[in-house]
């Protein structure tokens, strides 16, 4: 296994202590299986299971999400050869990244903002969860990534999504949303991103600054009394709890119920969820917050 950066190990030890840090480091080294989500806009689970069985692909179900499957005997390349992949009937997505839309609980007819939408996994998931009935605004500031987002939305049969090639921090304050998903850009400290040369202390600090700016904007344009989800694929409090704490005078934490089978890390804010890197899961932080009424 590659060695994790020394500065990260020091951060983890300071935040979590020796025993949990060892658990996290072991989690980084696991080779996670391929996981996918049945796209209920284009297919149903029975059809997907039939196709996987026909292709001799072994899978198991996920206790907390009926549309998720864990593939046990092949990698992504084999899944991408299947007709159900070509037709957008399934979407390859990590289990951890399926959590924020589920926790947000989007509903049909709601006006929803996805602040950092590309490549579209969570946008398409929210569309599927609402039976294509929500009005979703999907922001992506990078033109190339926005094209990828558009491609995925079309492939998955998603309607009622307005793509804005815009930095969500610059959205007009006159916007107003029923729900917001802010899956914020982050250092990726919960993922194998830590083994890349670009993973630095400076990246963490830059990410935290962006996260704070995005969350400030999100709270401003979320309707009073309504809920949003803040999430990152980081397990560092600098990008998670420390960001949230700056806004606790304006929002209340909506406690996330315990989800069976998910390995968690302790958090500094009660009611938030931090997933521990493991054989099945990337490290991931999720908080659900409610904007106080005026």
Query: Which residues are marked as active site?
Result: 233
* Those residues with Cβ within 8 angstroms of residue 206's Cβ, 6 or more apart along the chain or in another chain: none
59, 71 contact by CB (below 8 A):
yes
Distances (CA, A) of 245 to 169, 240, 250: 19, 9, 10
258, 64 contact by CB (below 8 A):
no
Question: In 3-157, which ranges are continuous DSSP H helix?
Answer: 6-16, 18-29, 45-54, 76-79, 83-86, 95-104, 121-129, 143-155
> Alpha-carbon torsion 128, 130, 135, 136, what sign?
negative
> How far is Cα 85 from Cα 94, in angstroms, rounded to an integer?
16
Tell me the Cα Rg of the chain: 19
Structure tokens at 49: 């299971």
Burial 176-188 (b: 16+ CB within 10 A, else e): ebbbbbbbbbbbb
């Amino acid at each position: 296994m590659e060695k994790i950066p020394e500065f990260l190990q020091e951060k983890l030890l300071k935040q979590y202590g020796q025993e949990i840090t060892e658990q996290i480091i072991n989690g980084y080294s696991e080779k996670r299986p391929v996981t996918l989500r049945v796209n209920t806009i284009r297919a149903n689970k029975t059809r997907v299971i039939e196709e996987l069985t026909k292709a001799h692909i072994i899978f198991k179900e996920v206790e907390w999400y009926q549309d998720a499957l864990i593939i046990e005997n092949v990698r992504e390349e084999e899944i991408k050869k299947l007709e159900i992949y070509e037709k957008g009937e399934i979407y390859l997505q990590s289990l951890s990244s399926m959590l924020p839309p589920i926790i947000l609980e989007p509903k049909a007819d709601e006006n929803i903002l996805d602040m950092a939408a590309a490549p579209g996994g969570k946008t398409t998931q929210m569309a599927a969860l609402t039976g294509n009935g929500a009005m979703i605004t999907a922001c992506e500031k990078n033109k190339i990534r926005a094209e990828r987002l558009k491609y995925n939305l079309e492939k998955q049969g998603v309607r009622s999504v307005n793509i804005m090639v815009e930095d969500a921090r610059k959205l007009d304050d006159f916007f107003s949303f029923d729900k917001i998903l802010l899956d914020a850009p982050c250092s990726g400290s919960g993922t194998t991103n830590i083994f890349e040369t670009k993973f630095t202390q400076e990246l963490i600090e830059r990410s935290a600054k962006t996260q704070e700016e995005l969350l400030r904007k999100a709270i401003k344009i979320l309707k009073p009394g309504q809920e949003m989800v803040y999430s990152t694929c980081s397990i560092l409090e600098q990008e998670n709890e420390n960001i949230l704490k700056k806004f606790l005078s304006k929002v209340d934490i909506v406690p996330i119920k315990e989800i069976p089978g998910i390995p968690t890390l302790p958090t500094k804010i009660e009611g938030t969820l931090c997933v521990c890197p493991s054989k099945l899961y990337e490290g991931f932080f999720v908080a659900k917050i409610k904007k106080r009424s005026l």
